[in-house]
Structure 1
Amino acid sequence: MEMSNGLSPRHGISSINREKNEGNGGPNLQILDLETENAIRSDHHFHSMSALEILRETVRILRYNLSGFMAIAAVLICPVSAVLLSNVFIDQYLVKRLSLRLLLVANSSGLPIKPFIKQSCQKLSESVVSATMCFPLFATLSLLSKAAVVYSVDCTYSRKKFDSSKFFVIVSKIWKRILITYLWVCGVISGCITLFLVLLVVVSSVFSVMGFPPDLILYPAMVIGLIFSVTLANAIIICNIAVVISVLEDVSGPQALLRSSSLIKGQTQVGLLIFLGSTIGMAFVEGLFEHRVKTLSYGDGSSRIWEGPLLVVMYSFVVLIDSMNSTVFYFSCKSYRMESTDEESEPVLEALTLHSGSSDTQ
């Protein structure tokens, strides 16, 4: 079976060129309130969307298929969120050893061992150990939840409800390319962090050899950290869209990453704002969990009984919105590119579904 290398919302983006030829430039794609019992208008039209418009679009999609997205959050996202927030799989001994190694490297390179440096090493150590220990969970439930969210958003643009049976048929066919893309994503992010650490040590060592005091060495290190933060944010945006592409298009691995980088060109600022909002939301819930559940308790610790699950649900909701934002951002960039170049693409997921349906009939 031959499949094209692109996917658009099946009744939305694929009709953009027909709408242009007919002179019917419709408004931005919107989803009506559920109480009106109306589906998505057939004459809606994408344009280059801002971060706020993408968030509004995400809320409309969530309202249109609330039960499906809540099921995804409850079954696939909440277990991962509970593990991440509780740090149940983190070996504190490994965290302390890795943190100590990082502090020794920082000290040898000339950086002053200040509370900020200690906290940064501690946080980095926890992130590395958590990512390593939870990798099987990330590569299964977390990745499956992202694929389910992408499929649900695509179904919404097609004015269809989420069909779990069709979803699992499709995932069984495309899981390999999703997993390959995720492994490349892990490699890219790990490479960015490694490059940052190496560059930080080299620059700090050079300034130390030149005779600069440790307090002055901290300033170029902070500049490198700022540049790294922006670079890492851009890399994460590209990686998030690459995962969406691996679900919706017949590409994977480095091809998906390159296509993602090309697709969001000119829309990086929107992606950064989306990433910033999601990061702030997740960090806020993580901080609440750390303070209210791990640190504080009322008397016998009864506060943990209801605050812990509540914060897990809040964190899962932020993760769900982040995945939906990434998918809507992909569709926005995709349709904008297609409209600019007058190209059309065939729906890969629909082709897979039709093919599986015909196979079952036979």
Structure 2
Amino acid sequence: MDREQEEMQFLGLFGVFTESFKIISSWRKIFSQITLTLILPLSFIYLLHIEVTNLLLHKIFNNAEEMSFTPLGSPRYEKLSDLISSEWATFWLFKIFYFTVLLIFSLLSTSAVVYTVASIYTARDVTFRKVMSVVPKVWKRLMVTFLCVSAAFIAYHIILFLVVFTWAVTIGSTKAGIAVLVILIILFFAGFVYLTIIWQVASVLSVLEESYGVQAMKKSKELIKGKMGLAIVIFLMLNVTFILIQVLFKAVVVTGWKLGSVDRIAYAMLCFLLLSVFFLFGLVIQTVLYFVCKSYHHENIDKSALSDHLEAFLGEYVPLKARDVQLEQYHV
């Protein structure tokens, strides 16, 4: 990372993307190793989940449709009923397996990429072996933050349900009600984006500072002030890209579009590679955005102190102290 921290605050959308690309291209060996070890499995399990979910649901719906034309209480009806119950059990077991593996690889990938970018920022000698020795010690803090964010999302959706229920039993589908519903949808989307951005920055905080969990969320909320517009545009661009990759995979691989098996495999590999690049690029951007926000608030990160604490990861885990990393102000 060639830029001094004082300059980071001036990075806009193009600057953040350019800086992220430079980091990855300059250190492509270690990022390639991280991708092969952590990000490729993450991408594979995500795409596999789409394909398997589609197959399982297709079987369940076909059997349910056949059962609807079968006489109630007949042996065939009972057999289909048992088969559907078994298929639903398989479906939910697969979902539990999927979310568990996805969470593990997501946390490990985030830990590895954030630690690597921070090491590059401090001009430390970073190797893949060092990164992999640090990751198991850091991901637990990320897990706590993830659980806190998940609780916030659950509470947010509960509040949404109560608001929508109140809307439905009061003004409902009247003209005024439709207008209120549109406003509610906009507010819900805005709140969802806001919580997601807080989560992304809080994840970096959980690795590079002593804060994690609710405290990391609070600090993330303060950090993104003043850079919210930039964070929102980055969020939207990344998510549009993510959705396009999913749409491509579902359209040409899952449904096939009358393509042959060779073509479907080729497109599956393309989506697999695109998703892997997307995950890596997104995590680097997430870390660069953290440094941009720190710079904007004039919270100078002492590189030598940060380097010492990154080195401490290799021994007994020592979280980054606020006095060393977070609150040292500089004046422009």
Distance 1:145 1:205 in 2: 45
1: CA distance between counterparts of 2:310 and 2:122?
A: 15
Are the structure 2 counterparts of residues 235 and 289 from structure 1 closer, same or farther at C-alpha, using a change threshold of 3 Å? same
CA distance, structure 2, for counterparts of residue 343 and residue 351 of structure 1: 12
RMSD: 3.2
Matched, 1:169 2:127: no
Task: Flag the 1:190–1:303 CA change in 2: closer, same or farther, 3 A.
Answer: farther
* TM-score, with structure 1 as normaliser: 0.69
The reply on whether 1:60 has 2:25 as its aligned counterpart is no
1:187-217, Cα deviation, whole Å (9 max, x unpaired): 2223323322332222122113xxx45x874
Matches within 5 A, 1:285-304: 285-296=245-256, 300-304=260-264
**Cα distance in 1 for residues equivalent to 2:116 and 2:138:** 16
Whether 1:140 aligns to 2:98 is no
TM-score by length of 2: 0.75
Structure 1 residue 50 and structure 2 residue 6: aligned? no
Distance in 1, Cα, partners of 2:266 & 2:119: 35
Q: Deviations over 1:160-192 (max 9, x none)?
A: 453233223333433322211111122222332
Aligned to 2:309: 351
- More deviation in 70-79 or 345-354? 345-354
- For 1:299 and 1:285, locate their aligned partners in 2 and report how far apart those are by CA, in whole Å: 18
Identify the match of residue 179 of structure 1 among 124, 138, 143: 143
- Is contact 1:241-1:327 (8 Å) kept? yes
8 Å contact from structure 1 (residues 204, 221) kept in 2: no
The amino acid that maps onto 1:181 is T
Match in the other structure for 2:41: 79
User: Hey, what does 1:321 align to over in structure 2?
Assistant: 281
Q: Is the partner of 1:182 in helix, strand or coil? A: helix
**Map 1:1-362 → 2, pairs under 5 A:** 40=2, 45-86=7-48, 87-88=50-51, 90=53, 92=57, 134-208=98-172, 212-213=173-174, 217-296=177-256, 300-338=260-298, 347-348=305-306, 350-354=308-312, 356=314
Q: Is the 8 A contact 1:338 1:344 kept in 2?
A: no
Aligned CA distance change for structure 1 residues 160 and 270 (closer, same or farther; 3 Å) = same
Report the secondary structure of 1:45's partner residue.
Answer: helix
Tell me by how many angstroms 1:71 deviates: 2.3
AA matched with 2:168 = S
Q: Give the gaps of 5 or more residues in structure 1.
A: 1-30, 32-39, 97-127
The 1:306/1:223 distance shift into structure 2, 3 A limit, reads same
In structure 2, do the counterparts of structure 1 residues 293 and 337 end up closer, same or farther at CA, with 3 Å as the change threshold? same
CA distance, structure 2, for counterparts of residue 278 and residue 311 of structure 1? 15
Structure-2 change in CA distance of 1:291 and 1:252 (3 Å): same
Does the C-alpha gap of structure 1 residues 135 and 303 become closer, same or farther in structure 2, counting only changes over 3 Å? same
Spell out structure 1 runs of 4+ moving beyond 6 A. 41-44, 128-131
Gap runs ≥5 in structure 2:
62-91, 318-332
Shift in CA distance, 237/84, structure 1 to aligned 2, threshold 3 Å: same
CA contact (8 A) 2:252 2:267 kept: yes
Contact 1:238 1:261 in 2 (8 A): yes
Percent identity between the two aligned chains: 25
Alignment coverage as a number of residue pairs: 284
